[in-house]
Amino acid sequence: MSALPTPAAPATGRARRLRENLVAYLFLSAGLICFALFAWYPIVRGVLLGFQQVTFAQPAEWVGLDNFRRLFDDPLFATAWRNTGYFTLLALVFGFAAPFVTAVVLNEVRRGQSYLRLTVYLPVMLPPIVTMLLWRWFYDPGPGLFNNVLGVLHLPAQQWLESEHLAMISLVLVSTWANMGTTTLIYLAALGGIPGELYEAAELDGASIRRRLWHVTIPQVRFILMITLLLQVIGTMQVFVEPFVLTGGGPNEATVTILLLLYRYAFVYNDFGLASAMSTLLFVVLGLFAGLYLRLTRTKD
């Protein structure tokens, strides 16, 4: 066995601690620089930008609440919030229920489970742009698949993306199709973790399947359900690719969402101050929602 190397400077522990910290921060440095440049600094700057007028030509100018005033004067601002709220609500109805029902069913089927798990996740692996282009083609009023299927079933053809009433629902359908795989697999993992004895005990007490679902399954995965609900609301409030590719915000601005409007402000009109004011507002609203939600749903344990 080789002789133990004696620590370089056993004299002072403090010098050693200092050297160890230096080494540690050397390892951390690249990460710290990346986070500082592309996360921490932009957070602060984003809030400041909301109160500034920004052009590439001159240095940013402080304009106080001007941007916020201009936001509230823009009729599209209210439209965007209303549309986004509607999208989020619909997405919750579909996107929250569908994966849970799917997961419960998948957890019960005795055969084909791995095939089903695989297929439900396939859309998640498609690049969103591919999904959108594919569905744009399905929705096509002419050779589109959906209207042809409706035709076979002797149902009237629909103006999927061209009707003010249907456009948002069409976007939610794509979005649910594309994203439900992730949530389904997360639920499935949670369901797999429920101890079987709980079901056996409930069964001995004479609980029906429905009561077992209500009193055993749901309470056991309650935490995961709560968190995914929160994450889904935060995620769907920031919907962008769907309206950007499929409708461009139309027809008649019926699918202009917050992020689509933010994109227009920033990258079409180059009004970075106005866009930042909008993202600050979104940030505040989502933060308040998350805080309130977590407070209301907190359990006593």
Partner 1 sequence: MAATEPRSRTLIAPAELTRPVGRFLHRFVLGTTLTGFTLAFVFPLYWMTTGALKTSAELSQPHPTLLPSSWHPESYAEAWTNTGLAGYFFNTFLLAFGALLFQLVIDVSAAYALSKLRPVLGNAVLAMMLATLMLPVSALLVPAYLTVVDVPLVHVNLINTPFAIWLPAAANAFNVFILKRFFDQIPAELLDAARIDGAGTVRILVSVVLPLSRPVLAVVSIFAVVGVWKDFLWPMLVLPDERKQPVTVALNRLAEFMPANQLLAGMVMASIPLLVLFLVFQRHIISGLTAGSLKG
Near partner 1 in 255-284, by CB under 8 A: 258-259, 262-263, 266-267, 272, 275-276, 279-280, 282-283
DSSP 90-137: HHHHHHHHHHHHHHHHHHH-SSSHHHHHHHHHHHHHS-HHHHHHHHHH
**Strands 61-62 vs 52-53: parallel, antiparallel or unpaired:** antiparallel
Closest among 278, 274, 109, 95 to 183, alpha carbons compared: 95
Q: Is 223 one of the binding residues for partner 1 (CB under 8 A)?
A: yes
Should residue 138 be labelled a site residue for partner 1 when binding is judged by CB under 8 A?
Answer: yes
- Which residues, numbered 173-192, are part of the site for partner 1 (CB under 8 A)? 177, 182, 185-186, 189-192
Instruction: Report yes or no: 129 and 123 within 8 Å, Cβ to Cβ.
Output: no
H or E stretch including 295? Answer: helix 272-297
Per CB under 8 A, contacts with partner 1 among 80-109 are 104-109
Residue 28 sits in the site that holds partner 1 (CB under 8 A): yes
Residues in 193-212 at the binding interface with partner 1, rule: CB under 8 A: 193-197, 199-200, 203, 209, 212
Selected binder of partner 1 within 155, 227, 288, 294 (CB under 8 A): 227
Residue 217 and residue 158: Cα distance in Å, rounded? 39
In the complex with partner 1, the residue whose CB is nearer, 167 or 225, is: 225
Our finding on whether 292 is near partner 1 (CB under 8 A) is no
Q: How many residues of this chain bind partner 1 (CB under 8 A)?
A: 105
Nearest distance from residue 231's CB to partner 1, in Å? Answer: 9
Helix H or strand E encompassing 52: strand 52-53
Q: Does 288 bind partner 1 (CB under 8 A)?
A: no
161 binds partner 1 (CB under 8 A): no
CB of 132 to partner 1, least distance (A): 8
Q: Which long-range contacts (CB under 8 A, 24 or more apart) does 158-165 make?
A: 161/136, 161/246, 161/247, 161/251, 162/251, 163/251, 164/251, 164/252, 164/254
Binding residues among 230-259 for partner 1 as defined by CB under 8 A:
234, 237-238, 240-241, 244-245, 258-259
Asked if 277 and 100 touch (Cβ cutoff 8 Å), the reply is no
Q: Is 142 in the site for partner 1 (CB under 8 A)?
A: yes
